[in-house]
Structure 1
């Protein structure tokens, strides 16, 4: 008689998501939804064969119905899986289960750069460069291997609880020597697209360089360089306006940082560094020229403003075609997250007016000074946030809380199939929640998987043995028959696994 582990009923904490609680490909148990993007949804899942937590990226059904898109996705995912770099999120597997096309990837416990920017608004130059350098190292490895990411943005920069920076979502990656196969469309995120991506669908390493320049500008200023009432207007500005220097929004930033952004975001790709490795060289040179005071300068008004997620979604965007009047409702265009059908509005061929733009930026900075200072005082003076504690030991969690000016209210325990025994499963309030300084946090520690000992069933009649297993939280398995000289007919000779074996409850 075999005694397999007890079947656990998963709890669906994501309302109206049919995948949560399901097992894909007979292997990946979907536990929770992490994020939804323009092309795919990302879930936390458990690989039931290897007993490890991973991230499962499942393509949206509308894109999964496009056979050529799926074929390219799978082919290029296999290629990216060969990238072996400490700053690249590892790809473990890819496959399809019915209408679900998925990618199994390394799960990074932590947050994204977008989360950091929402929380802080703008970063000190040292912190911005500390993040940018490993990002460029990862992209440099991809570029030298012949791939382009094509969708670099803060959402795709993961920052682990241990401080490691990793680049994720190479789902749009393609070979440097290929051309766009989707007629009239380019894949990407409007706020970070290079002009040649919009106009020609071109994709060589310099489009990633451009996106990294935009991300650096956003880290230094807390805002994207180009804004508009619609994605089409943002695309138009990428084509016709230079990215403004960060010092225009944050007075006092060094000229070296302005030069870095200008070099990376040059509208003419011939004027940009050839790839991420070349840009990384410029970044290291610029860092060496900065003083500690310049690196650690705190940007004024470093408080996140209200953020519109629509521009951050990966979308299928029509390549620039001969212009025609915009005919769609503005709100409909803004709210669309997967396919944007409106080309940039018919451009006025007048040259940009930098003096007016500079004046607007200065006025914006003055507003940030007036409003941001009060918010900064309220946030910093009265409140703090629960620091990242998941997977920390109790001692480490207590130390982190003490460092944040918080106390431990209570320590609870719970079983977990995925979190190491003795480490934090959850906190109350949750990680990242705003909490008054000197308040207390409840920690829940893992006791590891719940286990049950297989009872000694030798000599039990079959029906009684099965009832005993169920009573102990185990599921009776297949029954086989064998001859025995000392056990009555119809009774149990032995079990597999044997009596006393620990099994997950």
Structure 2
């Protein structure tokens, strides 16, 4: 559809790629469609800003000529790199990762590339990969609602749904990347030498062959990745390039280094019926300019009317065949060259396609009808969009009205009320065979869990274990002082015991931290009753030790306490008090006959007080009587009578 020139932007002083649309494409009945598609490439690419996407700088019209100014990428393309043979596993995965990263940026803004192939994967001189030519990309909503009956793309990389119905989704690009991976790892596409119509038939009716069919040392994980990307059922593929990229990264992480560094041998089988540039898609990097008729389309794009196989161009050929009706296929119509004649080889291909189409139309009319309703577009419908959220009975009735069977499973759901449909498989809006079954997941409502009983009074560890076994999350415990419960015993639960609670309820326990701390008051010297009252007010218990004699503390008052005053204790702790029993007993010296001074000295030395009573003036100074003798409490006053 265009010729690309290497040019220089004189204003900004940079090299650019200038894509000039062929003038004849803007003429005739379909001219407006071609011009629209050309300009749509500019709009689509302008929405993308990613280092892996070839940038479009400008778009304009010079007279009747439309052009794009694009980023110039010095280097080659993936087709050129494949000319040297299969890539190493590491390089193949690296290219796939970069392509998927670029496609992911497109999928995020609602664009599908629709023509992923080696010619559109540019390899810069620095080894970086860029995806080019979003000329076939359209908004997903536009693609899925199109009713033109025309399919765009290169047949070797087309997903089955594109061939059968023309519909495209992001998983369509994932399919093409799966084909690219097969080609990079094995060096060839899976159906070498077969005409495009047969290649399309394989894509629709057969599972894509695993790379290990050709390269037996490739591990099963690679086969599984390619199989996932190229699943015939679009619903079984990664839904977009971002999900596919995650799968490739996961695969690389589990492969051994010796596998990553290994590459397959160059294929020895012929690549196509016409040699290396056959229709299997393994042609040269670019055809010689002499092979391209002046004014012919040059985008490697093939259009196939929905429901028909038609002549399509091989990857690597800058040709485009447009077949808009079975008549064109049967007459072998091809794009005109500048002389108004088709090249012999193209005519042979068109004739071959016409013969095959004629066989299908005339010799297999009944087969075609059967195929349409058994495996073709007529065999499919879509899941009603409003099934999810309906009550089960209403959903079953709606599906039955569309001729669809249903199976149901039940599952708890936090948002959908019990009895309503949570989801469907396939999802609403996705394709399903008319004789197929839609699996409904019906909500059981919020999952409720039973709270164990006997939690209060149990140790914290035991209660926590019981709650977790019941399915609950247990939050941090709330500590609370308690005079009666020992430290670590459960005092309360945030939800009622033996009740039912939603499964996502976080249960918190109130746990005893033991009695509260208190400071021990000073009670030494206090009377027995006064000391007991002070300690009781502090929440402390009292016990008494045996009284001890004291000459300093009055009998019956607190002589000592344990713990001492000012120390920290816990409520209900016990403070031991020792009361004074008064002074101790001592032997009273016998001082009768002594002088008053000698008697006084002897008694005071023994701890007694002395009171002297002198009779008749105490003329002789001799103690005649003492009023205490034997034993008496220390400090007792002894009265002496002195003559």
- The verdict on a shared fold, with TM-score over 0.5 as the criterion, is yes
In structure 1, the partner of 2:59 is: 94
Match of 1:49 among 7, 11, 23: 11
Cα distance, 1:132–1:163 mapped onto 2, change above 3 Å: same
Match runs of 1:60-139 below 5 Å:
60-65=22-27, 66-120=31-85, 122-139=86-103
Match of 2:131 among 160, 167, 171: 167
Shift of 1:61: 3.2
Shift of 1:108: 0.4
Shift of 1:342: 7.7
2:185–2:263 Cα contact (<8 Å) kept: no
In structure 2, the partner of 1:270 is: 235
Secondary structure of 1:85's aligned partner: coil
Shift of 1:301: 2.8
Distance 1:164 1:116 in 2: 13
Shift of 1:210: 0.5
Shift of 1:307: 2.2
Distance 2:212 2:199 in 1: 21
1:125–1:296 Cα contact (<8 Å) kept: yes
Distance 1:309 1:54 in 2: 32
2:200–2:309 Cα contact (<8 Å) kept: no
In structure 1, the partner of 2:203 is: 238
Cα distance, 1:63–1:205 mapped onto 2, change above 3 Å: farther
Match runs of 1:392-403 below 5 Å:
none
Matched, 1:259 2:187: no
1:189–1:311 Cα contact (<8 Å) kept: no
5+ long unaligned stretches in structure 2:
282-299, 311-325, 333-343, 372-643
In structure 1, the partner of 2:119 is: 155
In structure 1, the partner of 2:276 is: 307
Cα distance, 1:193–1:119 mapped onto 2, change above 3 Å: same
Shift of 1:72: 4.1
280-289 or 229-238, which deviates more: 229-238
In structure 2, the partner of 1:317 is: 304
Query: How many residues get paired?
Result: 310
Shift of 1:266: 0.6
Matched, 1:289 2:254: yes
Cα displacement string for residues 212-268 of structure 1 (whole angstroms, at most 9, x for unaligned residues): 000100001111123454222221121112210000011110111101110001111
1:110–1:158 Cα contact (<8 Å) kept: yes
Shift of 1:311: 5.5
Match of 2:183 among 181, 198, 218: 218
Cα displacement string for residues 297-317 of structure 1 (whole angstroms, at most 9, x for unaligned residues): 221236896521656522222
2:18–2:67 Cα contact (<8 Å) kept: yes
Secondary structure of 1:299's aligned partner: coil
Match runs of 1:354-373 below 5 Å:
none
Match runs of 1:477-492 below 5 Å:
none
1:236–1:344 Cα contact (<8 Å) kept: no
Cα displacement string for residues 12-55 of structure 1 (whole angstroms, at most 9, x for unaligned residues): xxxxxxxxxxxxxxxxxxxxxxxxxxx32221112222221111
Distance 2:305 2:355 in 1: 6
Cα distance, 1:79–1:229 mapped onto 2, change above 3 Å: closer
Distance 1:182 1:290 in 2: 44
5+ long unaligned stretches in structure 1:
1-38, 352-505
Distance 1:98 1:332 in 2: 33
Distance 2:125 2:34 in 1: 34
In structure 1, the partner of 2:158 is: 193
Shift of 1:331: 4.6
Distance 1:291 1:190 in 2: 34
265-274 or 312-321, which deviates more: 312-321
Secondary structure of 2:215's aligned partner: coil
Distance 1:308 1:345 in 2: 27
2:7–2:17 Cα contact (<8 Å) kept: yes
Cα distance, 1:52–1:317 mapped onto 2, change above 3 Å: same
Cα distance, 1:161–1:316 mapped onto 2, change above 3 Å: same
State the TM-score, normalizing by the size of structure 1.
0.56
Cα displacement string for residues 364-409 of structure 1 (whole angstroms, at most 9, x for unaligned residues): xxxxxxxxxxxxxxxxxxxxxxxxxxxxxxxxxxxxxxxxxxxxxx
Match runs of 1:396-415 below 5 Å:
none
In structure 1, the partner of 2:108 is: 144
2:9–2:16 Cα contact (<8 Å) kept: yes
Secondary structure of 2:185's aligned partner: helix
Q: Which has the higher strand share?
A: 2
Secondary structure of 1:94's aligned partner: strand
1:242–1:267 Cα contact (<8 Å) kept: yes
Q: Which has the higher contact order (CA 8 A, sep 6+)?
A: 1
Shift of 1:334: 6.3
Shift of 1:153: 0.2
2:309–2:357 Cα contact (<8 Å) kept: no
The CA RMSD over aligned residues, in Å, is: 3.1
Cα distance, 1:228–1:45 mapped onto 2, change above 3 Å: same
2:18–2:69 Cα contact (<8 Å) kept: yes
Distance 1:193 1:298 in 2: 26
Match of 2:170 among 205, 209, 225: 205
Largest Rg, 1 or 2 = 2
Secondary structure of 1:102's aligned partner: strand
173-182 or 41-50, which deviates more: 173-182
Distance 2:194 2:23 in 1: 29
Secondary structure of 1:177's aligned partner: helix
Cα distance, 1:334–1:98 mapped onto 2, change above 3 Å: farther
Shift of 1:104: 1.2
Cα distance, 1:59–1:342 mapped onto 2, change above 3 Å: farther
In structure 2, the partner of 1:58 is: 20
Distance 1:302 1:311 in 2: 14
